[in-house]
């Protein structure tokens, strides 16, 4: 091959290689360009709305929307089966499922403020920080809602019970039954717990028996209660109010859960057994006694529900329906009848528990009374949520200790994860304020102390309290 031909060949090969290179670069750029576009497009799904160019895809939410829809439909169906017969009203109404980790909301209808946006036949949004997350009734954006914490129980009957319990709270004030929440400090004491546990054991027997046997053990239950009221005279009213609140709500949940009617008494008996094992009865006792007395009233033949008022007493209604007259000598009779229910073992267990409780009382007094504290006032904006199974009482008028809680008020948000917060009431029982151990550094933000943290609202500062080391939350500078 001559030099000219060779040169021509090199030129041709070079041109061909250059073309291949350009084509390859073009293909590669197109491939990676599409890949990058795909990645960016996928990434935009997860960007919070307002931070990207596009609204997030509608199917991304902290709560499973199809599952939430199924649960709303379950609540609707249970209410329709009842048809308003239980309380004279259809219980189904505005509902919110709230995820506590993200404060994400899924609702079964829109709100008047148009904060919630429609999505898949539901409405979604975020619960504002000033509202506590709890299983309760809530007025928000002009509507009274039933709030339920997500996730709900997997078991259909447990879930139905929860849904109907909380739906009752939304309508109970319309029935003339206020959401009263009185303290029951006597149920933290040795004697209060002994005679409550024995009453529950007798009630359990009454629920699983009939005829004369039921009548006999019901007398036992009422004797135990009467003796408890003799030991703690104020307890009759505070227990009654709680049973009209949480007791009737839990009774409603059981009645409308979807369970067959002939198993309800047995389920109420099981709940009494389970509740007896709980560490605290102060705020939770009515979850057991309410369903028990409600089911027994249903079996008495008395048309009792539609005549209830804020002054009603479920126990007196049942005693009247069964024509029970209590024997004289309450103390003697209570001790004698206790033998039928392993009373000696209950007394021994509660006597031992009392020693631990007294140690706990000393710790509470050191933490909330004797030591330096931060005092937070209660305003008309106060809201708080807590675990009803984790409530104790500080004796000698100290107040109620919520072992964990979230309190929102005009001064900010208090979150208590351990050690407790003391709720202080005035002489009329109204919430006066809150108390936690003083912060180690009152000038450091966010403010925090042993087991608690405080997100401060604007316009509120700390001022020294009446004792050295005490602090108070104060509006202004």
Beta pairing, strands 421-425 & 412-416: unpaired
- Rounded CA separation 414/428 (Å): 24
Q: Would you put residue 52 in left (φ > 0), alpha (ψ -120 to 50) or beta?
A: beta
Q: Which residues contact 303 (CB under 8 A, 6 or more apart)?
A: none
Q: Is the pLDDT of residue 461 over 90?
A: yes
DSSP, res 57: P
DSSP, res 420: -
pLDDT at 3: 33
The pair of structure tokens assigned to 345 is 């073992």
Burial class (CB in 10 A: 0-12, 13-18, 19+), 267: middle
Q: Is the pLDDT of residue 193 over 60?
A: yes
463 vs 429, higher pLDDT: 463
Q: Is the pLDDT of residue 188 over 90?
A: yes
23 pLDDT band, cuts 50/70/90, is very low
pLDDT at 365: 96
User: Roughly what angle, to the nearest 10 degrees, separates helices 264-275 and 248-255?
Assistant: 140
Cβ atoms 72, 108 nearer than 8 A: yes
pLDDT at 14: 43
pLDDT at 477: 61
pLDDT at 355: 94
pLDDT at 465: 96
- Rounded CA separation 392/434 (Å): 15
396 pLDDT band, cuts 50/70/90, is confident
- Alpha helices, DSSP H, located in 129-247: 156-171, 190-208, 211-231, 235-242
The pair of structure tokens assigned to 33 is 């360009």
pLDDT tens digits, 289-333: 999 999 999 999 999 999 999 999 999 999 999 999 999 999 999
Give the distance, in angstroms, between the CA of residue 299 and the centroid of all CA atoms in the same chain. 30
60 pLDDT band, cuts 50/70/90, is low
Cβ atoms 447, 472 nearer than 8 A: no
Cβ–Cβ contacts within 10 Å for residue 90, how many?
A: 14
- Rounded CA separation 297/294 (Å): 5
Beta pairing, strands 373-377 & 122-126: unpaired
**What distances in angstroms separate CA 65 from CA 78, 127, 360, one per listed residue?**
20, 17, 44
Average pLDDT for 372-392: 94
* Mean pLDDT computed over every residue of the chain: 88
- pTM of the entire structure? 0.83
């Amino acid at each position: 091959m001559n030099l000219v031909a060779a040169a021509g060949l090199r030129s041709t090969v070079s041109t061909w290689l250059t073309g291949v290179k350009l084509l390859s670069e073009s293909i590669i750029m197109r491939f990676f360009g599409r890949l990058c576009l795909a990645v960016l497009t996928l990434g935009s799904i997860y960007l919070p709305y307002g931070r990207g160019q596009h609204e997030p895809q509608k199917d991304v939410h902290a709560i499973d929307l199809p599952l939430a829809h199924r649960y709303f439909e379950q609540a609707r169906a249970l209410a329709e089966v009842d048809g308003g017969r239980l309380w004279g009203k259809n219980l189904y109404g505005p509902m919110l499922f709230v995820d506590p980790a993200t404060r994400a909301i899924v609702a079964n209808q829109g709100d008047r403020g148009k904060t919630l946006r429609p999505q898949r036949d539901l409405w979604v949004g975020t619960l504002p920080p000033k509202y506590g997350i709890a299983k309760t009734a809530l007025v928000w954006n002009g509507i009274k809602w039933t709030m339920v914490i997500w996730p709900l129980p997997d078991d259909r009957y447990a879930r139905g019970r929860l849904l109907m319990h909380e739906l009752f709270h939304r309508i109970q004030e319309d029935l003339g039954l206020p959401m009263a929440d009185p303290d029951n400090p006597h149920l933290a004491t040795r004697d209060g717990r002994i005679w409550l546990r024995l009453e529950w054991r007798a009630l359990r027997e009454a629920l699983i028996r009939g005829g004369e046997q039921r009548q006999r053990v019901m007398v036992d239950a009422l004797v135990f209660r009467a003796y408890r009221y003799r030991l703690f005279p104020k307890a009759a009213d505070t227990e009654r109010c709680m049973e009209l609140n949480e007791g009737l709500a839990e009774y409603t949940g059981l009645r409308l859960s979807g369970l067959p009617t002939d198993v309800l008494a047995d389920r109420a008996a099981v709940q009494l057994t389970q509740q007896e094992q709980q560490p605290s009865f102060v705020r939770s006792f009515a979850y057991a006694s309410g369903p028990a007395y409600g089911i027994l009233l249903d079996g008495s033949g008395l048309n009792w529900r539609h005549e209830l008022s804020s002054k009603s007493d479920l126990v007196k209604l049942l005693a009247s329906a069964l024509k029970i007259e209590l024997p004289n000598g309450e103390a003697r009779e209570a001790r004698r009848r206790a033998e039928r229910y392993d009373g000696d073992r209950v007394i021994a267990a509660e006597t031992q528990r009392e020693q631990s409780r007294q140690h706990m009382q000393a710790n509470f007094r050191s933490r909330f009374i004797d030591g330096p504290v931060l005092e937070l006032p209660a305003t008309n904006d106060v809201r708080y949520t807590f675990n009803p199974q984790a409530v104790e009482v500080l004796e000698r008028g100290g107040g109620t200790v919520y072992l964990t809680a979230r309190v929102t008020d005009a001064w900010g948000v208090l979150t208590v994860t351990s050690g407790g917060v003391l709720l202080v009431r005035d002489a009329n029982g109204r919430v006066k304020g809150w108390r936690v151990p003083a912060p180690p550094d009152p000038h450091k933000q966010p403010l925090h102390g042993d087991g608690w943290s405080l997100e401060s609202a604007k316009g509120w500062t700390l001022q020294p309290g009446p004792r050295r080391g005490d602090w108070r939350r104060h509006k202004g500078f």
